[in-house]
Amino acid sequence: MAAHVPSNSSSSPLRGSPRALLPSIKTTTDHVRNLAKFPSSKWSQAYNKCAPNDIDLSAEWRQIEELKGEVGIKFDLYADKPLQQLTLIDSIQQLGLGYLFEEQIDQALTSMTNVDIDGYSLHQMSMYFRLERQHGHDVSSSIFKKFMGKDGALEEGFQSDVLGMVSFYEAAQLRVHADATILDKALATCVTHLESMAADLNPRLKTLVTNSLKLPIHKNMPWLQATKYISTYQEDESHDTVLLKLAKLHFNVLQKQHKQELSHLSKWWKDVDIVSKCPYARDKLVEGYFWALALYYEPHYSLCRKIFAMAIAYIAVLDDTYDAYGTADELELITESINRFNTSLFGEMPPYARALCETVFDVYSLIEEDLLKYGNVAFSLPYVKEAMKLVAKSYHNEYLWLKKKQIPTMEEYRQLSFASAGVTSLLILSSAGMGHIVTKEALDWIFSEPTFVIAAQGIVRFLDDIVSHEFEQQRQHVPSAVECYMNQYKVSKEEACQYLRKQVSDCWKSLNEGILKPTSFPFPVLERVLNIVRGAEVMYEDGDGFTHSQKLMEPKMTSLLKDPVAI
């Protein structure tokens, strides 16, 4: 596919920022290329072999609509039975079907904010709290006080209620900063009890406890949660057969759509051939598409998935160029070329750098073409271009700091490396494909990096640093948050990681605050910020799953992109 070749024009920045200031281009003569030993990738080749022809799924979607109608009737049947409605809503959402019943769920949960919950068990109260908070209703955490003793921990009588404690643990993931005095101690003791009793539980309860403690519902990718919950729900003797049938059919239909999209993307990536032109870099298109499913698994967000996956693919190569290959003069040329967004510097570049910039411009050209073709408003295009510039600027700033051979303070590190987490740019790029729900004001808000977005940046950056810092420090690399904290406060690696995990927990509280009503923007916009973080939670759950995906991510990736659910 031919690269987009801009002229010598460039758009004005959307905001003034120190990141926009670029050093003058100069030449250096001595440089040792900082190569990393990245594992090879098998994924792109695998999805090149998928069938390229579009699949007709219209018959399956008609069947889904019929089953959806049968399930929808139950909202009316349970209109006066809030507990049954809560259970139905919880199952629907965990099965990945929430968007199909969005209006009914919103109406039901809004009507339940004033129901009498005094008689609810710990499990029921926790489910009520979790679902209401997930949908922006600021239900008070004081509803849990009746389950707590004077010391703030769960009363002894509830400490043998495994299902209740798991549900409470799941609910507490929605806590905000103001909930600390009520929930934090109870949560800590709940975790201690669940960890101590897990080994002695029956297999089903043990799996429930282990999975919840490792990755709770609120922090998991919704589509990955669906694959887990389908089997769990099927084993529940009280499951709704129609709902289960709908969930299985729905999953398999969407998987077919996702596989076909990935096949088309893989062929584009092969034609671009940047992997052979930049062999030092990671090949991460498929991992990027997997991460896209964290943000946008629903069928109508096909363009968003495409944009996000393409962006991750080229950003990974760009990241490795700044981290592990480019010389000072080459990196300044790349940064300035992307900042100008034209080819005027190509004659001064080595072939690999020119190919990389061509790929960046090609991605923009494809985004531009798709946004205009699908009728989405063109106002987002300047934001897309600025988001792509921001990535290069942030990586270059990190490189310049590395050349200083100084370890930043934690505050300096936040200013430096939160931007290079890529959250702001990826949100701008992919949100542009959501259609008219994303306004100019929403894009301005994301670019302004409010507390909500900064919290997402912090989580992604700190989770990455905790699991990847040792591999990165095997070569010359900008210090991670782990090294910065260790150096500034003279503590051990373990203490630094403990501090960063606390920071991640606090950032999640800020995210949870950001979705409570009233909000300035529609929930689908805010949800993408939550979802990009959920993708990071999954990617970095067992280590650096983004870099070492074949070792750490294969079961998760194959469950979404290869293995259908048995009907």
Q: Is residue 45 part of a domain?
A: no
46 has a pLDDT exceeding 60 = yes
Residue located via tokens 């090149």:
48
Q: Is residue 353 part of a domain?
A: yes
Q: Are 106 and 63 found together in one domain? A: yes
Q: Is residue 307 part of a domain?
A: yes
Average pLDDT over residues 326-350: 97
For the entire predicted model, the pTM comes to 0.92
Task: Give the angle 117-122-128 at the CA atoms, nearest 5°.
Answer: 50
Domain that holds residue 237: 57-244
150-154, 370-374, 476-480: the lowest-pLDDT one? 476-480
d(C-alpha 313, C-alpha 269), whole Å:
9
Determine contact, residues 3/358, Cβ cutoff 8 Å: yes
CATH number at residue 114: 1.50.10.130
What dihedral do alpha carbons 288, 293, 299, 303 form, nearest 10°?
-30
Q: Are 284 and 240 found together in one domain? A: no
pLDDT digits (tens, 9 = 90+) for 82-95: 999 999 999 999 99
pLDDT digits (tens, 9 = 90+) for 440-458: 999 999 999 999 999 999 9
Q: Is residue 403 part of a domain?
A: yes
Number of domains in the chain: 2
Q: Are 234 and 93 found together in one domain? A: yes
d(C-alpha 391, C-alpha 403), whole Å:
19
9 has a pLDDT exceeding 80 = no
Residue located via tokens 């710990």:
122
Task: Give the angle 294-295-301 at the CA atoms, nearest 5°.
Answer: 120
Q: Is residue 563 part of a domain?
A: no
Residue located via tokens 């990389």:
356
26 has a pLDDT exceeding 70 = no
Report CA-CA distances (Å) from 424 to 6, 12, 109, 486: 24, 18, 31, 27
Determine contact, residues 412/490, Cβ cutoff 8 Å: no
Q: Are 209 and 328 found together in one domain? A: no
Average pLDDT, the chain: 91
Q: What is the CA radius of gyration of the chain?
A: 24
pLDDT digits (tens, 9 = 90+) for 165-198: 999 999 999 999 999 999 999 999 999 999 999 9
Determine contact, residues 378/428, Cβ cutoff 8 Å: no
pLDDT digits (tens, 9 = 90+) for 387-418: 999 999 999 999 998 888 889 999 999 999 99
Average pLDDT over residues 11-37: 45
42-46, 144-148, 228-232: the lowest-pLDDT one? 42-46
216 has a pLDDT exceeding 70 = yes
Q: Is residue 527 part of a domain?
A: yes
Q: What local confidence, expressed as pLDDT, does residue 469 receive?
A: 82
- Tell me, letter by letter, the H, E, C secondary structure of 473-531: CCCCCCCCHHHHHHHHHCCCHHHHHHHHHHHHHHHHHHHHHHCCCCCCCCHHHHHHHHH
Q: Are 232 and 282 found together in one domain? A: no
Residue 459 banded pLDDT, cuts 50, 70, 90 = very high
CATH number at residue 386: 1.10.600.10
Q: Are 237 and 282 found together in one domain? A: no
